[in-house]
Structure 1
């Protein structure tokens, strides 16, 4: 009997958090199974990462639909078909709308590269460096209708490395990969 939590990971880019989560599922650090990768970008490298580990990828370009509701309804149909229990956002660069929010109340999680509520939205690391902060971080939070406004589950501070975006990004990714796994593990065990 498989008692692992079935999750779908949503990603728009390279998929490094997707890979970290897939590895955590594979080695038993996370009692979950990624049953689907969902992406809005046909050229997202996350698709290649999913292929390498045998996880199906659903590519859903938003411009193929007449509305956001229609777009999300297509995704929801695939999620239901795969019996997805939780949605895990990992670099998914779209706001979640009412169709998915109502279908998965308090079961959509996001990771963001700042200590929210500071620096929400795109380029959080660049925003932090532009503001001259010495410490930024990582936040795991529940998703609501706002941009990075949902209830915070976990946070971890990360020092800004000499005002260097690339070095700070590397430090943040290292924290993201274990913080997300740990936060999800705690959520799934409730």
Structure 2
């Protein structure tokens, strides 16, 4: 049985889709939602879904291995970053080699790196005149958005699209593809 912890910083729309996708799965369950903001809506959503939550603070996350202890206590075997804005520390990357995935709202390596998240990405896509964008699902290493790519899918960007319209197109791709790609990757790991 794979037991997933979803790390998120915001509303948790991707986290909700992932929880729902694996609700009745025979081999994969979402056991924990981890957030780094006490007022993050993802925490309330997780509780509504019956998933336990964990709140991280920056000093505890970076200056101790308390997060690792909490994950071990919950018997977590796999981590999904779904809009989690902090860089994952080396101790966590090392404890879960090839078992942490992230979703990025652009076609990496374009528009990746520190500070490139959410609307910052969609504005940059618009400002540079890109004709397409999309999502990248990738493994996590010790640098922002540099882990091996597992999956990419693109969508068109028109000259008339606003950053908000681009965000909506990308969010739709995230909601359709993230959970199935996680499932496929976990199945491949375990085959």
Corresponding residue of 1:163: 161
For structure 1, the 5+ residue unaligned runs are none
Does the CA-based 8 Å contact 2:122-2:164 persist in structure 1? Answer: no
Q: Distance in 2 between matches of 1:107 and 1:189?
A: 12
TM-score after normalising by structure 2: 0.90
**How far apart are 1:164 and its partner, in Å?**
0.9
Deviation of residue 69 (structure 1)?
Answer: 3.5
From 25, 40, 43, give the equivalent of 2:39: 43
User: Which residue of the partner structure matches residue 152 of structure 1?
Assistant: 149
Q: Counterpart in 2 of 1:126? A: 123
Q: 1:12, 1:46 within 8 Å by CA — same for their partners in 2?
A: yes
Q: CA RMSD in A?
A: 1.5
* Ranges of 4+ aligned residues in structure 1 off by more than 6 Å: none
- 1:141 counterpart = 2:138: yes
Distance 1:51 1:173 in 2: 23
**What is the 5 A alignment of 1:1-190?**
3=1, 5-28=2-25, 31-63=27-59, 65=60, 68-70=62-64, 73-120=65-112, 121-122=116-117, 123-160=120-157, 162-190=160-188
How many Å separate the matches in 1 of 2:20 and 2:134? 23
Q: CA deviation at 1:165?
A: 1.4
Query: Structure 2 regions of 5+ residues with no counterpart?
Result: none
Contact 2:7/2:83 (8 A) holds in 1:
yes
1:158: Cα distance to partner? 1.6
Q: TM-score, normalised by structure 1?
A: 0.91
